[in-house]
Amino acid sequence: MDKWSKHDLLDLQTLSAEEIEHVLETAKSFKEVSSREVKKVPALRGKTIVSLFFEPSTRTRGSFELAAKRLSADTINMSGSGSSLSKGETIVDMAKNIEAMNVDLIIVRHSVAGVPHKLAENLNASVVNAGDGCRSHPTQALLDMFTIKDKLGEIKGKKVVIVGDILHSRVARSNIVGLTKLGAEVTVCGPSTLIPIGIEQMGVKVSYDIDAVIPDQDVIMLLRLQKERQEEHYLSSIREYAKTFGFNANRLKMAKKDVLVMHPGPTNRGVELSGEVADGARSVILDQVTNGVAVRMAVLYLTLGTKDVSKEE
């Protein structure tokens, strides 16, 4: 690749396979920084990064905040209450006000899909999507891909099954886009009510029977199941879900010996997976968290290294 040219990170649709690989390579060197005695480099000294979260989050926000601090950037947290900001135009207005404080990059999470894209269209500051509605969560997918590559050597040709509530999952969507781009064979698996119709068009296989697909997979990626899905009648019961799709020691026995068990966290132990499996030898859940900081350092570093020439006149 000649040179990184993306001013924003909005989703993985707009990154080429080569660009995704470049993020993963860059993250590799930043992972090393976090293992040092002095976990800090001056790369973004004097840059201002604002995290603007319209959904509560401690993990993702903390991960981004640490990433920014280890790059020596100045960080500010802002919370948006959705109420007064329900119209896209108003959010743009708010973001422009933040940008006017000479802010270099805004990390945004919002329950409405497309908000980060809307901001990026209207701002000169870089925009990084930390999750928008059910659409995208690109840094989560990047850290998942980093973890797979780190553990299995490569992504190309690997078989990955994503299990659970595909319908509502931005983690699933971003992983599907990224993993297929890098040549993985992705299957989605879950109750039929939670698999979106036509998902095959994203280049994935669909299964409703986890036991049928387990033996083939290199990676089992479990999604968090929101308890609300039962009340919303997507599920007859959480217990039934746990029985039918929960990944436990019995199902682990059916899998390849060196299978990776992944979960974006926080886990519902006893639902998506058993505590035994979560803490077991095949689980890379905590590696995902560690790699998350490295990947976010790479994303902040790369996007801030560009000038958005397309926006300049």
What is the contact surface with a second copy in residues (CB under 8 A)?
A: 34-40, 45-48, 50, 58-59, 62-63, 65-66, 69-70, 74, 76, 78-80, 89-90, 93-94, 96-98, 100-103, 265-267, 269, 275, 278, 286-287, 289-290, 292-293
Rounded-to-integer distance, Cα 98 and Cα 126, Å: 12
CB 277 within 8 A of CB 249: yes
Nearer to a second copy, 269 or 282 (CB): 269
Nearer to a second copy, 81 or 237 (CB): 81
Shortest gap between Cβ of 126 and a second copy (angstroms)? 14
Shortest gap between Cβ of 106 and a second copy (angstroms)? 12
HEC per residue, the chain: CCCCCCCCECCCCCCCHHHHHHHHHHHHHHHHHHCCCCCCCCCCCCCEEEEEECCCCCHHHHHHHHHHHHCCCEEEEEECCCHHHCCHHHHHHHHHHHHCCCCCEEEEEECCCCHHHHHHHHCCCEEEEEEECCCECHHHHHHHHHHHHHHHCCCCCCEEEEECCCCCCHHHHHHHHHHHHCCCEEEEECCHHHCCCCHHHHCCEEECCHHHHHHHCCEEEECCCCCHHHHCCCCCCHHHHHHHHCECHHHHHHCCCCCEEECCCCCCECCCECHHHHCCCCECHHHHHHHHHHHHHHHHHHHHCCCCHHHCC
Shortest gap between Cβ of 176 and a second copy (angstroms)? 24
Nearer to a second copy, 256 or 269 (CB): 269
Shortest gap between Cβ of 34 and a second copy (angstroms)? 4
Nearer to a second copy, 37 or 313 (CB): 37
Nearer to a second copy, 21 or 74 (CB): 74
Rounded-to-integer distance, Cα 68 and Cα 171, Å: 22
Shortest gap between Cβ of 194 and a second copy (angstroms)? 22
Shortest gap between Cβ of 77 and a second copy (angstroms)? 9
Shortest gap between Cβ of 67 and a second copy (angstroms)? 9
Nearer to a second copy, 212 or 286 (CB): 286
Nearer to a second copy, 42 or 198 (CB): 42
Shortest gap between Cβ of 42 and a second copy (angstroms)? 9
Report the half-sphere exposure of 140 (CA within 13 A, side-chain side). Answer: 28
Nearer to a second copy, 98 or 214 (CB): 98
